[in-house]
Structure 1
Amino acid sequence: LAELAKETRETLESPQMLTGTVEGRFLELLVYASGASRVLELGTYSGYSALSMAAGLRPGGRIDTCELDQTRAAVAGRYVEQSPYADRIQIHIGPALETIGRLDGDFDFVFIDADKPNYVNYYEAVLPRLTARGFIAADNTLWSGRVLDEGDDDEGTGAIKAFNEHVKSDSRVTSVMLSVRDGVTLIRPKGGS
């Protein structure tokens, strides 16, 4: 992962989007502790988070990860192929909402870390596809603290504010926002075992 992080910082646009060590370990722990065997990631970027989560998968588990940008997907693909998890991670190139519609089955864990204006759409698309004990982790929900700035009308900030409010007011779920890195909100449907 160190070599992947180095290449990401040196060659890809927006290297601040790299998941990094702390959040990577956190995601690995979530996947492991939940016993997840089917993971969906929306927003592959360079593959750091997918590789981190793969380390926590149950034997025989798999990750479907979605990336719109072919350059990023190519970097991720190279590192996935070199990893011990090559047979467990499938990178899907294209719009995430379309990919979600094409995938069969339900998910134990979903990590949302893609384009912010679609967070609510992603949430609504995956919520009914969670297993009985499944849950969602949404990244960047603190958005560098900008979600607290009432005057910040940037598109990304507005989208994260709308997502946070949508989840908070959704009576179908229970959620908690954690201050891990740039904010991670954990969401699970009510009534899950």
Structure 2
Amino acid sequence: MSTFRLDEKLSSYVVGSCTPPEEAVSNLIRRTMALGDAAEMMIPVEQAGFLTMLTRVSSARRVIDVGTFTGLSALAFARGLGEDGKVVTCDVTDEWLSIASEHWRLAGIDDRIDFRCGPAKRTLEELENEEAADIVFLDADKTSYPRYCEAAARLLASGGLLILDNVLLHGTVVDPGNAEDELGQYAAEIMDSVSARLAADERFDTVMLPIADGMTIARKK
């Protein structure tokens, strides 16, 4: 299911009502699905299309993508950039980099993507010495979102977008006790506090959308 609030039939209808993904995107999704349970970390196809569109309409030139996995979000952002744009994507591991790189090349946008391996905290600190970002996308360790959000606030240019993925955590944010385990409960509590703080943060205009597992978009003033 691509969207947690919909049943399988309606979810398929949503996907079918979007512009069909290009070959590189479709191939990457199939390759990632073959990984089994790990594929749950991949953004759904309609979310990838939305990120591409958002990048285009905002005329973004520089994107920071926290949580590479098999590279679908980086690919989605890179497709929305102009030829002079750049996506800096980072992950704590390069386990799936070969899959990502293959499909970035297939899409013809590999020259727009800069992969950096290591803890996100370190990478975000390093990026503070570089050009300001137009978009920062967080799709990594949920318990670290408070730290990542503060880093993003420093990294974003005025008018830039902070995008948080999985902000609903399959609904457990409204009842952490329904999480599968203690770690899931802790993550739900952290995510709930992050969302509350961001909604009240005077540095941003914030909206939460029921896309995929919930996505928050905050525009830096």
TM-score of the pair, normalised by structure 2: 0.81
- The DSSP-based 3-state class of the residue aligned with 2:131 is coil
Would you identify which runs of 4 or more consecutive aligned residues in structure 1 move more than 3 Å? none
**Partner of 1:57 in structure 2?**
81
- The DSSP-based 3-state class of the residue aligned with 1:55 is helix
- RMSD after superposition: 1.5
**Partner of 2:93 in structure 1?**
69
Aligned length: 190
Q: CA offset at residue 155 of structure 1?
A: 2.5
Matching residue's letter, 1:71: E
Q: Does 1:135 align with 2:161?
A: yes
Matching residue's letter, 2:70: S
Matching residue's letter, 2:45: T
Map 1:3-42; keep pairs closer than 5 Å. Answer: 3-11=27-35, 13-42=37-66
TM-score of the pair, normalised by structure 1: 0.92
**Partner of 1:117 in structure 2?**
143
- Do the aligned partners of 1:73 and 1:93 also contact (CA within 8 Å) in 2? no
Q: CA offset at residue 177 of structure 1?
A: 0.1
Matching residue's letter, 1:4: L
Taking the aligned partners of 2:211 and 2:79, their CA distance within structure 1 comes to: 19
Taking the aligned partners of 1:159 and 1:48, their CA distance within structure 2 comes to: 26
- Do the aligned partners of 1:116 and 1:156 also contact (CA within 8 Å) in 2? yes
Please list every run of 5 or more consecutive structure 2 residues that lacks an aligned counterpart in the other structure: 1-24
Taking the aligned partners of 2:109 and 2:39, their CA distance within structure 1 comes to: 23
Please list every run of 5 or more consecutive structure 1 residues that lacks an aligned counterpart in the other structure: none
Residues 4, 150 of structure 1: alpha-carbon distance in 2 compared, 3 angstrom cutoff? closer
Taking the aligned partners of 2:29 and 2:213, their CA distance within structure 1 comes to: 18
- Do the aligned partners of 2:44 and 2:212 also contact (CA within 8 Å) in 1? no
Taking the aligned partners of 1:43 and 1:36, their CA distance within structure 2 comes to: 19
- Do the aligned partners of 1:36 and 1:57 also contact (CA within 8 Å) in 2? yes
- The DSSP-based 3-state class of the residue aligned with 1:69 is coil
Q: Which has the higher helix share?
A: 2
Alpha-carbon deviations, 1:47-84, whole Å to 9, x = none? 01111111111231010001112212332223223331
- The DSSP-based 3-state class of the residue aligned with 1:64 is strand
Identity %: 32
**Partner of 2:204 in structure 1?**
173
Q: Does 1:126 align with 2:126?
A: no
- Do the aligned partners of 1:177 and 1:183 also contact (CA within 8 Å) in 2? yes
Residues 24, 157 of structure 1: alpha-carbon distance in 2 compared, 3 angstrom cutoff? same
Q: CA offset at residue 146 of structure 1?
A: 1.1
